[in-house]
């Protein structure tokens, strides 16, 4: 979001040089710059010990495609804490281990997505009201139910990272994973 008025006092902002950042909207009354802001969100591909992926059906997002666990970060928590919290809230599952899958800009909604793979033990779901249904789907079948693989789609970025890690495990060089499982 690009600010035109001060969110604190409502005054019209004027562009002012802010060092290396160039012209930035500034409120003279509050003596404060208002840099462009955006939401930070987490997206978590939840997988179990049988290498099944949790796909969520959320009709308020899409009737056609299935989603991963996702949500807004709240002030004061880390992306990792938000990821664990969202998995608990949406699916009722406890994350044993998180694997980082980078940050990705979601242009359509101006959100920075912090991506993770969340490893859990297979258990019955306890769904939040935001989730219509959820199911465990094999690695092979999951892409057919995910959003199409286009630039800006974080689902497939996480999915591909998981597929690579499965190959490493099969090659026997991922000691950490082998000890955990």
Q: Write out the residues near Zn ion by the rule CB under 5 A.
A: 6, 8-9, 11, 27, 29-30
CB-wise, 23 or 50, nearer to Zn ion? 23
What is the distance between the alpha carbons of residues 132 and 117, in angstroms, rounded to a whole number?
Answer: 22
According to DSSP, the residues that pair with 158 across neighbouring strands are none
What is the distance between the alpha carbons of residues 126 and 111, in angstroms, rounded to a whole number?
Answer: 27
The Cα-based distances of 4 to 20, 36, 39 in angstroms read 21, 10, 18
Min. distance of Cβ 11 from Zn ion in angstroms? Answer: 5
What is the distance between the alpha carbons of residues 6 and 19, in angstroms, rounded to a whole number?
Answer: 20
Q: Are 41 and 70 in contact (CB under 8 A)?
A: yes
Min. distance of Cβ 1 from Zn ion in angstroms? Answer: 16
CB-wise, 33 or 65, nearer to Zn ion? 33
CB-wise, 33 or 125, nearer to Zn ion? 33
Min. distance of Cβ 8 from Zn ion in angstroms? Answer: 4
CB-wise, 9 or 23, nearer to Zn ion? 9
Min. distance of Cβ 36 from Zn ion in angstroms? Answer: 17
What is the distance between the alpha carbons of residues 149 and 107, in angstroms, rounded to a whole number?
Answer: 15
């Amino acid at each position: 979001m690009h600010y035109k008025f001060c969110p604190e006092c409502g005054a019209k902002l004027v562009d002012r040089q802010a060092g290396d950042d160039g012209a930035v909207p500034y409120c003279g009354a509050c003596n404060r710059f208002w840099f462009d802001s955006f939401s930070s969100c987490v997206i978590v591909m939840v997988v179990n010990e049988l290498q099944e992926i949790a796909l969520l059906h959320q009709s308020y997002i899409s009737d056609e495609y299935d989603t991963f666990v996702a949500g807004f970060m709240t002030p004061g928590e880390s992306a990792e804490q938000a990821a664990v919290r969202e998995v608990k809230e949406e699916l009722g599952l406890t994350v044993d281990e998180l694997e980082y899958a980078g940050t990705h800009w979601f242009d359509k909604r101006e959100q920075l997505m912090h991506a993770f793979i969340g490893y859990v033990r297979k258990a019955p779901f306890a769904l939040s009201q935001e989730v219509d249904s959820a199911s465990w789907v094999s690695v092979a079948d999951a892409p057919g139910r995910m959003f199409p693989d286009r630039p800006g789609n974080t689902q497939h970025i996480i999915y591909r990272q998981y597929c690579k890690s499965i190959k490493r495990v099969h090659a026997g060089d991922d000691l950490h994973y082998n000890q955990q499982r």
